[in-house]
Amino acid sequence: MNDTLSKLEAVLFAFGEPANVKKIAGIMDLKDDEVIKNLEELRNYYNQSNSGLSLFEHEGSYELVTSAKHSETIEKILKTEIDEDLTPAATEILAIISYLGPISRSSVEYIRGVNSSFSIRTLMLRGLIERIPHPEKANAYLYRPTADILKRLGVEKIENLPEFARYRELKKMIERNEETGD
Amino acid sequence: MPIYEINLENFSGPISKLLSLIEDKKYEIRSVDLAKVTGDFVDFVNSLSNAHPRLLADFISVAARLMLIKSRDLVPDIELTPEEEEQITDLEERLKIYQQFKGATILFGELYGKRQTLFSRPERKRKKADDKVVFLPPQNLTAEILLLNLKKSINIIEELEKRYEKYDALNLEEYIANLWDRVSGRITKFSDVASGKDKREVIIFFIAVLNLLRENKISIQQDSHFSDITIRSN
């Protein structure tokens, strides 16, 4: 590990909470793209060196987390907040929002063919999904997975969901159909 | 949990059900095959009689489209409107999307079941460090300055108290009695009651109106948002 990487590791450890690229760049006196490059290198280093740590990314913020393979051990110290089983409807909605999010409620309902407001509200209360204002429509919202559910799944970043790119392709199809459909 | 919530949580919805009917028979997503499963789907909808109306409505809407396909199948001469044709295409598209996405839901469920959680450093401990109480008085702070500021604050409170003294006399019972005197036996506009009153009194009069309404002594009517309220005594 070179000096920059080890400094980056120390900075992330000291933060102990998600830090965005700008923040890290300011502290380390690096350019944003240099930080991103080093973050990727650190992630590779962790993945290749049998480290007990992983680098987790969500919405442009990074933090050190314990690696998935030690989950069982660390669970003895730290309880995961997301412990309940998921109902079939909850699993389906969470999958749709995780793979295709940020996504509107109407799109979720378009795919499922069933009103999903109750389940979406419950998932939000449980901290598994969060809503953000729609960038183009006033008073409308989009839903996306929270950092907590991604950590619970053991994925370091959303793109690491199994076969992410393949299922992501469906988003275009849905958007096209929703415009022409009802 | 009420029954309908269990229903909503355990059902994947009509698209999922229809797809499983088609796949069970190794059919394809095309109208000829959709027509063949219409009967089974309608039977299933009938079995849902105890389901929540909202859930039922979504199933019936799909059943209606299936019946449309079926009727076209049975009566080839039947002419469908462009909207009806579109509804059929839309149903087929949705089935295809659902079919393609289904794998993601399975993968997601499996991943969740693996319990390979990534843990962050515990937030609780971090918060404790942040909340640490430190005594850091400004420079030049003396007991005299503290006393002076305390007196200032007391003065402000006293002034505020004086300013609101007249409101201490406001008594809801009196306002209700007062209002009742004014509206009893006639039709009154709320704007007349409120005219010349300050905001606080208007609010109390409004509460008085709500009280009389609750006691069934008056009826009120408001034609649109923010328009005047007409009060009639009963």
> Which uninterrupted H or E stretch holds B105?
helix B82-114
Q: What is the pLDDT of residue B130?
A: 58
- As given in the structure block, the two tokens for residue A78 are 């730290």
Of B87, B103, B116, the CB nearest to A154: B116
Largest Cα–Cα separation, chain A = 57
ipTM of the complex in this document: 0.89
Verify whether the Cβ–Cβ distance B8 to A118 is below 8 Å: yes
- As given in the structure block, the two tokens for residue B200 are 């606080």
The last residue of a domain, from among B68, B92, B114: B114
In this structure, are B28 and B108 located in the same domain? yes
In this structure, are B35 and B105 located in the same domain? yes
In this structure, are B109 and B196 located in the same domain? no
Q: What is the pLDDT of residue B169?
A: 57
Q: What is the pLDDT of residue B77?
A: 82
Residue A129 above 90 pLDDT? yes
Domain-embedded: residue B77: yes
Query: Where residue A55 falls among pLDDT bands split at 50, 70, 90?
Result: very high
Residue B2 above 50 pLDDT? no
Domain limits at B207? 168-233
Convert the pLDDT of each residue in A137-160 to its tens digit: 888 899 999 999 999 999 999 999
Of A68, A89, A98, the CB nearest to B9: A89
The β-bridge partners of A131 are A143
Domain-embedded: residue B151: no
Domain-embedded: residue B45: yes
Task: Tell me if A3-74 shares its fold with A88-180.
Answer: yes
Of B8, B116, B126, the CB nearest to A68: B116
Contacts with B122 from chain A: Cβ below 8 Å: 78
Convert the pLDDT of each residue in A16-50 to its tens digit: 889 999 999 999 999 999 999 999 999 999 999 98
The domain made up of A3-74 is a member of CATH 1.10.1040.10: no
The last residue of a domain, from among B73, B98, B114: B114
In this structure, are B184 and B106 located in the same domain? no
Contacts with B130 from chain A: Cβ below 8 Å: none
In this structure, are B108 and B172 located in the same domain? no
Contacts with A80 from chain B: Cβ below 8 Å: 117, 119
Residue B6 above 50 pLDDT? no
Average pLDDT, chain B: 83
Which is higher by pLDDT, A161 or B123? A161
Cβ–Cβ < 8 Å for A32, A22: yes
Residue B142 above 60 pLDDT? yes
Domain-embedded: residue B134: no
Query: Where residue B209 falls among pLDDT bands split at 50, 70, 90?
Result: confident
Nearest C-alpha of chain B: how many angstroms from A22?
21
Verify whether the Cβ–Cβ distance B101 to A167 is below 8 Å: yes
Q: How many CB atoms lie within 10 A of CB A69?
A: 12
> To the nearest whole percent, how much of chain B has pLDDT over 90?
19
Query: Where residue A179 falls among pLDDT bands split at 50, 70, 90?
Result: low
Count of structural domains within chain B: 2
Residue B206 above 70 pLDDT? yes
- CATH fold for domain A88-180: Arc Repressor Mutant, subunit A (1.10.10)
Q: Which of B115, B117, B120 to mutate to test the interface with A (most CBs of A within 10 A)?
A: B117
Domain-embedded: residue B150: no
**H, E, C per residue of chain A:** CCHHHHHHHHHHHHHCCCEEHHHHHHHHCCCHHHHHHHHHHHHHHHHHCCCCEEEEEECCEEEEEECHHHHHHHCCCCCCCCCCCCCHHHHHHHHHHHHHCCECHHHHHHHHCCCCHHHHHHHHHCCCEEEEECCCCCCCEEEEECHHHHHHHCCCCHHHCCCHHHHHCHHHHHHHHHHHCC
Q: Range with the lowest mean pLDDT among A68-72, B4-8, B170-174, B226-230?
A: B4-8
| CATH number, residue B176 | 1.10.10.580
Which is higher by pLDDT, A43 or A79? A43
Nearest CA in chain B to A168: B101
In this structure, are B19 and B110 located in the same domain? yes
Mean pLDDT of B142-165: 87
Of A67, A118, A167, the CB nearest to B5: A118
Q: What is the pLDDT of residue B125?
A: 53
Q: Range with the lowest mean pLDDT among A105-114, B96-105, B210-219?
A: B210-219
> To the nearest whole percent, how much of chain A has pLDDT over 70?
98
Nearest CA in chain B to A164: B104
Which is higher by pLDDT, B210 or B167? B210
Q: What is the pLDDT of residue A145?
A: 97
All structural domains of chain A with their residue ranges: 3-74, 88-180
Q: Check if A69 contacts B (Cβ < 8 Å).
A: yes
Query: Where residue A105 falls among pLDDT bands split at 50, 70, 90?
Result: very high
Q: What is the pLDDT of residue B52?
A: 76
**Interface of chain B toward chain A, CB-CB under 8 angstroms:** 5, 8-16, 54-55, 57-59, 62, 86-87, 90, 93-94, 97-98, 100-101, 103-105, 107-109, 111-112, 114-123, 126
